[in-house]
Structure formats: structure tokens, C-alpha cells
Amino acid sequence: MANSPVPYKAFPLAGTTPISYLTDVQVNALVSAFQDWYDKSPTEAKRKTRGRYWLVFLVLRFTGARIGEVIRIDDRVDIDYRNAEIKLITLKRHNPRKKNATRIVPVPANVTAETATYLAEFPEQRGRVFRLDQGNFRKVFYARAEEAGIPRDLAHPHILRHTRAVELLRAGVPVTIVQDLLGHSALTTTAVYLRISGQEAKGILRERRGWCEKESRKYMYAVENYVEDWTKRALRI
């Protein structure tokens, strides 16, 4: 992948607008900005506060979830620390019967390890780690994005959702699995992230059980077991 600071643009399907997302260099710069801000906390009180923002950022980064979903996480019951999985309440479901639906999203082990380490240091924060105000988080995000040199039009939390979707698809994760991980109610929503023609998109919609054998360089490990389980269930449909 090129190291250009210019954002990649996914080719849209007919009638849609291009999806902007961050390059590897931009993502790494943003992660470093957040981590440095947390690690260089001048006082214990600041470290306690900043740690919560750092953890919300990490979960956004590696789940591709909506910010409204992340701040609803209860660290006492929604995180499987052993298996590195996070349960999320899926928002924006158009089907009323599927309201309050949840999904399980695997994450890199360091994400749950960071959460466990933070709680070991600040056990009084248990049950409220992720319960941040959206407006306050956005302000912190904008500041860190500016430090990382992220263009203003890309400096918003939702850019991490677009970025994660593209990462997973490039890593070879089947589009139907990405749909499930992101909590999209329709496959057509996920399909806009693909660099494909409209005709190929129709083929994907017909072939919901497709499996891509391409190896992931650094993302497949986190979703490997989940993909295997999902595929087995899909083959029984």
C-alpha cells in the first residue's frame, strides 16, 4: 500500500458517492497521537481520564463500530477478555423486530489487554470506562487528528469505520462477514466499500456464501475463528 498522505477513494457503485478512508500511514499516525497523549499524561487524574478516551479510540479503530455503539459498552459484561471479543448493541437497524440486536466482534488481543490493564490500575472505573460524552470524545479526536496531520475532512470518528471496512475487505474477509461485523442490515451498504463494478456487486448479492481464500497480513488472525464459525452456519442456510 502506498505511503501517500492522500486518502484512498473506493470506487462507488452506481448512484453512490465515493467512500473516503485513511491510509496505513495516516492510521498509524493517529494511533501514535492518541497513545502519546495518554502515555504523557502529566498527573494520575489526567491519566485516568485520558485512558478512557484512548480505549474508546482503540475499540473504534479495531471494530469499525459506530461511536454510539462503543460508548454503550459495559466493560463488566460486554468484553470477553480471554477470547478478545466485544459485544456491541447494533444501532440503525431499519427492521423494528431487530432493534436492540447485538453482535460479537473479535479484536486484536492488545485491545482487550489494554482495557484490562487500565482497569487494574483504576478499578473504580469498572462499568463506566466507555461511557463518554460523544461531544467530548469528538473534541479530543479532532485535536489528536490535527496532531497526526490528518486532513480536516477526514478528521472525524466515523472515518475509522470506513477505514476498518476497507482493511477487512482487502485482507480477504468475505463481504458477508464484514457486513456482520459492521452491523449493516443490508449487504448493499457493505458492498459500496468494494472496488468492484455494479455487475460484480450483483453477483456477490446472489452468492452470499462465498469464501475468499486470500490470507490476511495482519487482520485475519483476529477474525479467523469468527469467520470459520460464521461460514459453517452460512453453509447450512
Residue limits of CATH 1.10.443.10 in the chain = 20-157
**Which CATH superfamily does the domain covering 20-157 fall into?**
Intergrase catalytic core (1.10.443.10)
Whether 24 shows a pLDDT value over 80: the answer reads yes
Q: What is the mean pLDDT of the chain?
A: 80
105 bridge partner residues: 86
Cα–Cα distance measured from residue 31 to residue 123, given in angstroms and rounded to the nearest whole number = 25
Residue 123 DSSP code: G
Of 63, 59, 41, 67, the C-alpha closest to 121 is 41
| Dihedral, 35, 37, 41, 45 alpha carbons, nearest 10 | -90
What pLDDT does 208 receive?
42
Strand bridging mode 79-80 / 8-10? unpaired
Contact 9, 20 (CB under 8 A): yes
79 bridge partner residues: 86
Residue with cell 480505549: 55
Cα–Cα distance measured from residue 23 to residue 25, given in angstroms and rounded to the nearest whole number = 5
What pLDDT does 130 receive?
98
Q: What's the predicted TM-score (pTM) here?
A: 0.75
Whether 201 shows a pLDDT value over 70: the answer reads no
Whether 187 shows a pLDDT value over 90: the answer reads no
Element housing 221 (H / E): helix 220-235
Of 217, 230, 101, 129, the C-alpha closest to 168 is 217
Cα–Cα distance measured from residue 178 to residue 165, given in angstroms and rounded to the nearest whole number = 7
What pLDDT does 7 receive?
43
